[in-house]
């Protein structure tokens, strides 16, 4: 049985929520934000919400990954109308768990929303240029420009460059603002990055958010659009008590633009985020000479689209004693790995929806995935591997054990076989490892592929190596 998250599952979430809780809600029930003059709008879509225009922006990402996106805040019920200039034959709104059933009237797509959601609208069964609709909750007591300790970016363009955040500071990016710049923090406590505005990375060559050795962090509500450089989009290294909530990342088309990197960090929550990246969308690692563990991590209520690599990944860099107490719960993964790779490409093997890749001597254990819905996968659903990669440093091998999957449902698509394997053990450093107990105690409860509950390796099309011990499938 997984002794899962006893240290964080309630206490950390409550602590983080109470730490950042404030009391007064705006009387407004719908807020749309004006577009900054000259910021590129979508050539394909227009959107109104309760009759009010909601600007649709063009993400300006190289095809085939470009898209449009719009955002607004509301409470209650709103009626959304999306107008498409050209005709179309069909429309689908993902994730399907949102339960949005649109009506079509000519070139208008209409639907109601009764709660904040993150949606992907697709036309004609194609993935080219979808529309992302980000309906936020109303802000609670947003900072004001003259508040002490606040760096305030109001509506319009801001060429900010590098911003180093100090202890007890808040950065606020208002709705309708576009900030060209990036944020760093080192050895800081009680810091916040808040708002509804956009961080634009089109000319940036750095991590958009980079924090090291920080504590009590809140990142909430902002957008990060495009990450063209060969860098991870956001990275938190050796940080504690972190809440990343309702952040939206639409990254560019390079092969190393991870979305949210949790590195050697503890008591870390990712809640209600949207991440679309070419590389791992949310990834847990351990790096550096301190060999600090990553532990007590919650990833929940997220909508994720990984173009390659993994929706949620642990590894491969795991320079620590252990990675433990991780819960991934109530998330939707859409179109994971929709770009096909040649078998000679490294990402042909390094891709899927859920991955644990342990190439160092770390002990990865007490990891739980629960209530995950996967739509339109084309690569592996699940990959548990012990193997060396170009990014690993340890000469020895670690373990993967006590991994629990519950209520994992594949809604549609054509997934490749999942894998639970250790490979390359004799190919690196002349190390000989005997089979057995490298991967053990892996349980699948209600693992459902296209309506069929999988009860054994053959039904699931799993590739399993002899080094796997105590693999179970239960209803």
What does the angle CA 324 – CA 329 – CA 331 come to, to the nearest 5 degrees?
Answer: 130
Query: What is the Cα gyration radius of the chain?
Result: 22
C-beta neighbour count of 43 within 10 angstroms: 10
Q: Which of 399, 259, 386, 273 is nearest to 324 (CA)?
A: 399
More confident position, 3 or 411: 411
Q: What percent of the chain has pLDDT over 70?
A: 87
Per CATH, which fold does 30-136 belong to? Dex49a from penicillium minioluteum complex, domain 1 (2.60.350)
Mean pLDDT, to the nearest integer, of 363-378? 96
Q: β-strand 419-422 against 463-464: which pairing, if any?
A: parallel
Judged by average pLDDT, the poorest of 4-13, 101-110, 437-446 is 4-13
Over the chain, what is the mean pLDDT?
A: 87
Q: What percent of the chain has pLDDT over 90?
A: 66
First to last CA, the chain: 15
SS3 of 363-413: EEEEEEEEEEEEECCCCECEEEEECCCCCCCCCCCCEEEEEEEEEEEEEEC
**Coarse DSSP helix, strand, coil percentages of the chain, rounded to the nearest 5 percent:** 5, 50, 45
Q: β-strand 215-220 against 240-245: which pairing, if any?
A: parallel
pLDDT the model gives residue 345: 57
Per CATH, which fold does 11-21+142-474 belong to? Pectate Lyase C-like (2.160.20)
Mean pLDDT, to the nearest integer, of 440-467? 93
Q: Evaluate whether 30 touches 54 at the Cβ level (below 8 Å).
A: no
pLDDT the model gives residue 359: 86
- Residue 59, H or E segment: none
Mean pLDDT, to the nearest integer, of 424-428? 44
More confident position, 252 or 270: 270
Tracing tokens 């998250």 back to the chain, one arrives at 5
CA dihedral defined by 464, 329, 230, 183, rounded to 10 degrees?
-160
Pick left, alpha or beta for residue 98 (phi over 0 → left; psi -120 to 50 → alpha; otherwise beta): alpha
> In the chain, what are the domain boundaries?
11-21+142-474, 30-136
Residue 400, token pair as written in the block = 């993967």
Record the pTM: 0.90
């Amino acid at each position: 049985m997984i002794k899962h998250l006893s240290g964080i599952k309630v206490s950390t979430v409550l602590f983080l929520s109470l730490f950042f809780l404030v009391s007064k809600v705006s009387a407004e029930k719908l807020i749309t934000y004006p577009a900054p003059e000259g910021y590129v709008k979508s050539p394909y879509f227009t959107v109104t919400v309760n009759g009010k225009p909601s600007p649709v922006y063009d993400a300006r990402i190289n095809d085939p990954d470009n898209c449009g996106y719009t955002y607004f805040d509301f409470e209650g019920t709103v009626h959304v109308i999306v107008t498409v200039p050209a005709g179309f034959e069909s429309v689908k709104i993902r994730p399907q768990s949102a339960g949005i059933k649109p009506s079509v009237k000519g070139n208008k797509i209409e639907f109601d929303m009764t709660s904040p959601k993150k949606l992907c609208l697709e036309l004609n069964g194609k993935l080219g240029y979808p529309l992302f609709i980000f309906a936020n909750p109303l802000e609670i007591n947003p900072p004001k420009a003259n508040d002490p300790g606040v760096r305030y970016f109001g509506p319009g363009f801001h060429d900010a460059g590098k911003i180093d955040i100090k202890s007890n500071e808040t950065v606020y990016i208002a709705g309708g603002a576009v900030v060209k710049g990036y944020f760093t923090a080192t050895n800081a406590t009680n810091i916040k990055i808040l708002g509804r505005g956009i961080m634009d990375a089109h000319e940036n060559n750095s991590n958009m958010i980079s924090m090291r050795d920080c504590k009590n962090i809140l990142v909430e509500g902002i957008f990060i659009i495009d990450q063209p450089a060969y860098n991870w989009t956001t990275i938190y290294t050796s940080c504690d008590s972190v809440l990343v909530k309702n952040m939206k990342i639409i990254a560019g088309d390079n092969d190393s633009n991870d979305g949210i990197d949790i590195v050697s960090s503890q008591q870390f929550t990712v809640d209600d985020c949207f991440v679309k990246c070419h590389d791992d969308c949310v990834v847990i690692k351990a790096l550096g000479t301190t060999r600090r563990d990553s532990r007590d991590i919650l990833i929940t209520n997220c909508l994720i689209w990984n173009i390659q690599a993994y929706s949620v990944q642990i590894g491969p860099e795991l320079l620590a004693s252990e990675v433990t107490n991780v819960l991934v719960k109530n998330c939707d993964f859409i179109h994971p790995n929709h770009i096909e790779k040649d078998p000679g490409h490294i990402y042909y093997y390094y891709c899927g929806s859920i991955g644990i890749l342990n190439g160092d001597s770390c002990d990865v254990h007490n990891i739980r995935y629960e209530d995950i819905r996967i739509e339109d996968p084309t690569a592996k659903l699940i990959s548990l591997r012990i193997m060396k990669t170009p990014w690993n440093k340890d000469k020895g091998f670690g373990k993967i054990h006590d991994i629990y999957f519950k209520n994992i449902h594949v809604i549609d698509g054509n997934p490749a076989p999942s894998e639970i394997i250790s490979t390359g053990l004799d190919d690196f450093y002349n190390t000989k490892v005997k089979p057995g107990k490298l991967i053990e105690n892996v349980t699948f409860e209600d693992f459902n592929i296209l309506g069929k509950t999988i009860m054994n390796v053959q039904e699931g099309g799993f590739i399993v190596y002899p080094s796997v011990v105590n693999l179970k499938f239960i209803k």
